[in-house]
């Protein structure tokens, strides 16, 4: 296996994003600003692409499965580290983003391990997740949706669900949708060798 010289995602990169959130002075209701909240979309895309790079290295046998899972954990630890307050609205948005990214991390790890339901229709799985959440079985809902995410990484399209009511399930699905969107976009991550240049800041 090839040695990866640098991290797929660095603490410096994450802190740069947190600084950009502060600079954005994000407000949950700011109809005059069409770009309000865009920074959180960019953060999501950035983290998802880092995870997809890890998967691509594993598929090319540059990383073992165990090493790939460990790299996903490193990215997760960076994202979930405690940070200074960013403002009440921004802090709420960051927590929502982290919930969505939690689905990304566990979906990637499930995909790498091959440990997921390959048969049940995705729409049915999502419905089961909603039912589990409504029954207060949050761990079960999370587990089901991580399998949906693994299926999306394997090449399936996310189910068409329309507008979803606010819920943990909806936030997790946002993360899965971000995986799908990234995979349909620029696929240069598949050829990246997993290293970052020193000047590769956000």
pLDDT of residue 34: 57
CB atoms under 10 Å from CB of 126, counted, come to 23
- Nearest Cα to 182, choosing from 31, 40, 53? 53
pLDDT of residue 198: 42
Give Cα 201 distance to the centre of its chain: 19
Q: What percent of the chain has pLDDT over 70?
A: 87
Sign of the C-alpha dihedral computed for residues 164, 169, 172 and 177 taken in this order: negative
Cα 178 to Cα 17: distance, rounded to the nearest angstrom:
18
pTM here is 0.87
3-state secondary structure labels for all residues of 68-133: HHHHHHHHHHHHCCCCCCCCHHHHHHHHHHHHHHHHHHHHHHHHHHCCCCCCCCHHHHHHHHHHHH
pLDDT digits (tens, 9 = 90+) for 28-66: 876 556 566 899 999 999 999 999 999 999 999 999 999
Flag whether pLDDT at 151 surpasses 50. Answer: yes
What are the extents of the domains in the chain? 11-26+35-189
Contact (CB, 8 A) for 168 and 141: yes
Q: Which residue has the higher pLDDT, 159 or 40?
A: 40
pLDDT digits (tens, 9 = 90+) for 173-199: 999 999 999 998 767 776 765 554 444
């Amino acid at each position: 296996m090839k040695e990866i010289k640098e991290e797929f995602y660095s603490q410096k990169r994450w802190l740069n994003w947190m600084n950009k959130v502060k600079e954005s002075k994000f407000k949950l209701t700011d109809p005059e600003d069409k770009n309000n909240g865009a920074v959180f979309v960019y953060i999501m895309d950035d983290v998802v692409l880092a995870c997809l790079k890890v998967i691509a290295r594993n598929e090319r046998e540059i990383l073992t499965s165990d090493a790939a899972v460990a790299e996903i954990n490193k990215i997760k630890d960076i994202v979930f580290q405690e940070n200074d307050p960013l403002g009440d609205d921004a802090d709420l948005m960051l927590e929502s983003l982290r919930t969505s990214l939690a689905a990304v991390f566990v979906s990637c790890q499930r995909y790498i391990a091959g440990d997921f339901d390959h048969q049940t229709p995705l729409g049915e799985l999502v419905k089961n997740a909603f039912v589990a959440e409504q029954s207060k079985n949050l761990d079960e809902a999370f587990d089901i949706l991580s399998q949906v995410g693994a299926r999306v990484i394997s090449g399936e399209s996310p189910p068409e669900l329309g507008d979803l009511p606010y819920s943990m399930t909806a936030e997790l699905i946002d993360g899965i949708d971000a995986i799908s969107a990234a995979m349909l976009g620029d696929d240069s991550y598949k050829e990246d060798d997993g290293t970052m240049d020193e000047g590769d800041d956000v």
